[in-house]
Amino acid sequence: MKALSPLLPWLGVMKERRGRLLLGGVLMLATLASALGLLSLSGWFITATAVAAMTGAYLDVFAPGGGIRFFAVSRTVSRYLERLYNHDTVLRLLADLRSRVFRGLVVLDARTLSRVRASQWLNRLTADIDTLDNLYLRLLAPPLVALIGIVGFALFAMAFLPSAGIAILALLLPLWLAVTLGCAWWGWRASHRRVERQERLRVRTIEQIEGLAELTAYGALETHRRHWRREERILLDDQRRLGRRTAAGNALMTLGVQSTTLLVLMLGLLAFQQGAVSGPVMVMLALGTLAVSEGLGNLPMAFVQFGATQRSAERLNEQTALRPALVGEPLTTGGAAPALAYLEVDVRHGERRVFVDLTLTLAAGERVAIVGTSGSGKSTLAQLAVRAFDPDAGSVTFEGHDIATIDPDSLRARIGYLTQRSELFHDTLAANLRMGAPEASDERLWWALEQVELRAWAETLPQGLETWIGEQGRQLSGGQARRVALARVMLRDSPLVILDEPLSGLDSGTAERLKATLDDWLGERTALLLGHDEAALPRCDRYWRLVPGAEGTRLEGDVSHP
């Protein structure tokens, strides 16, 4: 049972849709019952007609004939409805699960997020969710429907021939256990670790792609291939093992169902000879037993893979339950340019000390540049200001308030921050721009595009502002994406502005003109500008250089204005 606990939160998500799940299950059951009714009633009917023909007795052929036609239609209809309805349910669950996972991720702080992004986890995320969304269709409803089918038919059989009913229960219930719990247990270890092994093969593959230059030069490719092949063999061995077990489970099921049918038939034959049941009933019970097996169909396959489902749930749990969101009081100050100060700040990234006792102050309306090589901690300064995470020691103050006490959303609402990477979304140009200012009019968007010298380009687009920009803004060049991101920050019109390498990826002409535009636009705002050197930034009041050292990064000031 402990093995199931990672699934509990996800079962909880499903519980909210229990009405649908129940109805879906009922439809599944109706399909099974129709198949059962069709086959057993047909068997009864044929035998009864044969007996009637021999004895010359009267047989009402219309009621059973009607019954057969009814089951034929009801099987088709219920199967159609069941598939449609349950697919709808699965898609609804998918929406629920995605929202839930997203909700868990959206509260993470920047450092945890960057860890998540760096790992391969993101690539597996949707696959993990997909595994869970069809949990109901593979692992929950089918075994229950099969169980109800078995017990229901056994009770039905008991009414005619108690020994047949008992035989069905005695053989099919253990069989049901074997193809569900038995298969789950049997495939548990291999399927649980298969996920991991597939991951290892992926890592080896990435090693080989990224290290191809080194491996080729050294003539070490064959050595690495050996590592790679070993991982592949282990993975394939596990898959073979699982496949064989599934096949064995299916064979066992055939054996079990057919033997039960035979046993029921033999019990029927004996009872028939003793006159306890009629010939038609005997045939009906045997054929009904056969039809019950339809419900067991896909169980071995689904349950042999149970471990993998549980592993997916475990992995999602690891990420979504990481840590509580940063909290704080909402800011109540107005929209005037604020002062910003870093006071004796310590920041560690793992073992590495990024800042030790760093102090930096920006007076209200002051424009400060921080220059330094990449990796010196410029972006960390920016992230501290927006409270992407809290420093390990010391404090950052906004208008004199320690930002560790301010609600992150209300703080960020007062800051326009252009991150180092231009993060654009797969959406329209307008939607990407309006992220900065949801209420902005189209005129305002055009104004912003004009500021970053994209207006002429945007006007040539057939769909204008409604043009979809590709996944991560892929249909834009690096320089265009940069300027869209910049326009988005300008639309935000915030009293504090942080620009991280604002002009990177732009040709020198555009960069020079944008410097002047930014100089005007920044005006009286408080601004923190980050760049690899002074020339890459608009004019500032003060310049500081970040110099990395063994004892964390130092600030060296005032680099003279170029």
Partner 1 sequence: MSGARRPSNPSRAWLDRQTATVRIWYRGAVGCGLAAGVATLIQMGALAWVVDRVVSDRATLAQVAGGLALIVAAIVVRALAQWGQESCGQECGLRVRRQVRARLLARLHELGPVRLASRHSAGLASQLVDQVEALEGYYSRFLPQMVLAAAIPLIYLVVVFWLNWLAAIWLLIAAPLIPLFMALIGMGAQRLNEAQFQAVTRLSGHFLDRVRGIATLQLFGLGERSIAEVGEVAHDYRRRSLKTLRVAFLSSAVLEFFAAVSVAVVAIYIGFGLLGYIDYGPAEQLDLFSGLFILLLAPEFFQPLRTLSQHYHDRASALGAAEGLVELLDAGAETVQPAHETPDSSLETGEIRLADVELSHAGRERILGPLSLTVTPGEVVALVGPSGSGKSSLLQLIAGFVAPDRGRVMVRRDPAIAWLDQRPLIIQGTLAENLRLVALDADDAALTRALEQAGLGDWLAAAPAGLETPLGERGVGLSGGEGQRLALARIFLSPAPLVLLDEPTAALDPETERRVIAGLARLAASGRTLVMATHHPAVMAMAHTVYAIENGQLKRTSRAEVAPRVEMEP
Residues 60-79 that bind partner 1 (CB under 8 A): 61, 64-65, 68-69, 71-73, 75-76, 79
CA 87 to chain centre: 18
Asked if 122 touches partner 1 (CB under 8 A), the answer is yes
Neighbours of 543 (CB within 10 A): 21
* DSSP three-state, residue 195: helix
Half-sphere exposure of residue 376: CA atoms within 13 angstroms, side-chain side: 22
Pairing of strands 427-428, 468-469: antiparallel
Residues 241-260, interacting with partner 1 (CB under 8 A) = 243-244, 246-248, 250-252, 254-255, 258-259
Residue of the chain from 329, 344, 357, 409 that contacts partner 1 (CB under 8 A): 409
What minimum distance in Å lies between the beta carbon of 460 and partner 1?
25
Determine the interface stretch with partner 1 among 5-13, 144-152, 159-167, 264-272 (rule: CB under 8 A).
264-272
Q: Which is nearer to partner 1, 61 or 177 (CB)?
A: 61
CA 64 to chain centre: 51
Residues 339-398, interacting with partner 1 (CB under 8 A) = 350-352, 373-375, 386, 388
Rounded to 5, what percent of the chain is helix, strand, coil?
65, 10, 20
Asked if 457 touches partner 1 (CB under 8 A), the answer is no
Q: Which is nearer to partner 1, 343 or 504 (CB)?
A: 504
What minimum distance in Å lies between the beta carbon of 186 and partner 1?
15
Q: Which is nearer to partner 1, 144 or 555 (CB)?
A: 555
Q: Which is nearer to partner 1, 67 or 519 (CB)?
A: 67
Residues 27-46, interacting with partner 1 (CB under 8 A) = 34, 38-39, 42-43, 45-46
Burial class (CB in 10 A: 0-12, 13-18, 19+), 89: buried
Asked if 159 touches partner 1 (CB under 8 A), the answer is no
For residue 225, give Cα distances in angstroms to 111, 195, 208, 228, 230: 35, 21, 8, 5, 8
Determine the interface stretch with partner 1 among 110-118, 139-147, 157-165, 309-317 (rule: CB under 8 A).
110-118
Residue of the chain from 6, 436, 495, 531 that contacts partner 1 (CB under 8 A): 436
Asked if 48 touches partner 1 (CB under 8 A), the answer is yes
Asked if 50 touches partner 1 (CB under 8 A), the answer is yes
Asked if 225 touches partner 1 (CB under 8 A), the answer is yes
Beta-bridge partner residues of 554: 547
Number of residues that bind partner 1 (CB under 8 A): 141
Residue of the chain from 15, 60, 106, 456 that contacts partner 1 (CB under 8 A): 106
DSSP state of 226: H
Asked if 549 touches partner 1 (CB under 8 A), the answer is yes
What minimum distance in Å lies between the beta carbon of 143 and partner 1?
18
Half-sphere exposure of residue 416: CA atoms within 13 angstroms, side-chain side: 27
What minimum distance in Å lies between the beta carbon of 4 and partner 1?
26
Amino acid type, 540 = C
Q: Which is nearer to partner 1, 251 or 516 (CB)?
A: 251
For residue 516, give Cα distances in angstroms to 383, 426, 491, 502: 26, 31, 17, 13
Beta-bridge partner residues of 499: 418, 529
What minimum distance in Å lies between the beta carbon of 75 and partner 1?
5
Asked if 47 touches partner 1 (CB under 8 A), the answer is yes
What minimum distance in Å lies between the beta carbon of 141 and partner 1?
17
Record the tokens describing residue 387, joined without a space: 């409270």
Q: Which is nearer to partner 1, 98 or 542 (CB)?
A: 98
Long-range contacts of 361-366 (CB under 8 A, 24+ apart): 362/526, 362/527, 362/528, 363/339, 363/526, 364/336, 364/337, 364/338, 364/339, 364/526, 365/337, 365/524, 365/525, 365/526, 366/526, 366/527, 366/541, 366/542
